Amino acid sequence: MEKEFIYHPIFIALLILFSFMLLICLIRAVKGPRVADRLVAVNMMGTVVMVMISVLALLLKEGYLVDICLIYAMISFLSVVVISKVYIGIYEEQHHNQEKAEGGNADGRV
Amino acid sequence: MDAFEWVRLFAGCLFILIGVVIFFTELFGVFHFKYVLNRMHAAAMGDTLGISACLIGLMIFSGLNFTTLKMFLIIVFLWFASPVSSHVLSRLEVATNDHLSSYCEIYGDVETLEQELTARRENENTKEEGGTVS
């Protein structure tokens, strides 16, 4: 019973601290001037949320929450990779279209 | 509570404190640097070292059971995943930035970079020798 009184406040304090960190990461994600800035901030938020879920698993004494944390890590990694690949593809397509349009204009003038 | 419990409590608190300090360093770095490729360096530190320290502290709290094993799996997964995601993010930045040369020096290939570096080193050497002579 004594153990509860010591561990419980520690976990609550950690959760409050990490939620403030999450807020600061969110500010970076909103402010970031480029797309890569926002993705870095989202990656950081994923890391902080993983620690929060692990703390919650020990606080509630529910071991299966750590499984959710593992899946969260995989989905966070996958989302960063897929979003950056898709964005590179979109950018190159736009670039290609612009070059094509400029080339067409040049040919038309000649 | 016996002595072993107290030792466990303090060791876990120490590791979690290290992790929190590293997370704060990460946040400071991300707001301090001015460009994404610099910010990424600060952000990647928290992804591997910060979460490792925090989860090792929580592992010490939880004792020997399956929860500990799962937390160790998370750390191992992030060791592999974080460098890959950083690499992909930097490729995204280099591929989509039209004015990259205004942020950092760009070399076409590795050989030009090596030539430039050796030239710079020789230049510094001659400068130092000149300084000692004069």
Q: In a mutagenesis test of the A interface, which of B15, B67, B73, B79 is the best target, namely the one with the most A β-carbons within 10 Å?
A: B67
How far apart (Å, rounded) are the C-alpha atoms in residues B64 and A51?
Answer: 19
Higher pLDDT: A22 or A103? It is: A22
Which of A17, A49, A57, A18 has the alpha carbon at shortest distance from B71? A57
Q: Is A16 exposed, middle or buried (0-12, 13-18, 19+ CB in 10 A)?
A: exposed
B93 contacts chain A (CB < 8 A): yes
Please count the CA atoms within 13 angstroms of the CA of A82 that sit on its side-chain side: 6
Residues contacting A54, CB < 8 A, separation 6+: A65, A66, A69, B54, B55, B58, B71, B74
Specify the pLDDT at position A52: 94
Q: Do A7 and B61 touch (CB under 8 A)?
A: yes
Residues 80-99 of A with CB under 8 A from B: 80-81, 84-85, 87-88, 91-92
Q: Is pLDDT at A35 greater than 60 in this prediction?
A: yes
How far apart (Å, rounded) are the C-alpha atoms in residues B71 and B65?
Answer: 10
3-state secondary structure A20-57: HHHHHHHHHHHHCCCHHHHHHHHHHHHHHHHHHHHHHH
Mean model confidence pLDDT for chain A: 87
Confidence of residue A45 (pLDDT cuts 50, 70, 90): very high
Give domain limits for chain A.
2-109
Q: Do B88 and A92 touch (CB under 8 A)?
A: no
How far apart (Å, rounded) are the C-alpha atoms in residues A49 and B121?
Answer: 46
B59 contacts chain A (CB < 8 A): no
* pLDDT, tens digit, 9 for 90 and up, residues B59-102: 999 888 888 999 999 999 999 999 999 999 999 988 888 777 77
Q: Is pLDDT at B46 greater than 50 in this prediction?
A: yes
SS percent in chain A: helix, strand, coil, step 5? 90, 0, 10
* pLDDT, tens digit, 9 for 90 and up, residues A8-33: 999 999 999 999 999 999 999 998 78
Confidence of residue B28 (pLDDT cuts 50, 70, 90): very high
CA-based nearest distance B85→chain A, Å:
6
Q: Is pLDDT at B127 greater than 50 in this prediction?
A: yes
How far apart (Å, rounded) are the C-alpha atoms in residues B30 and B24?
Answer: 10
Which pTM does this prediction carry? 0.82
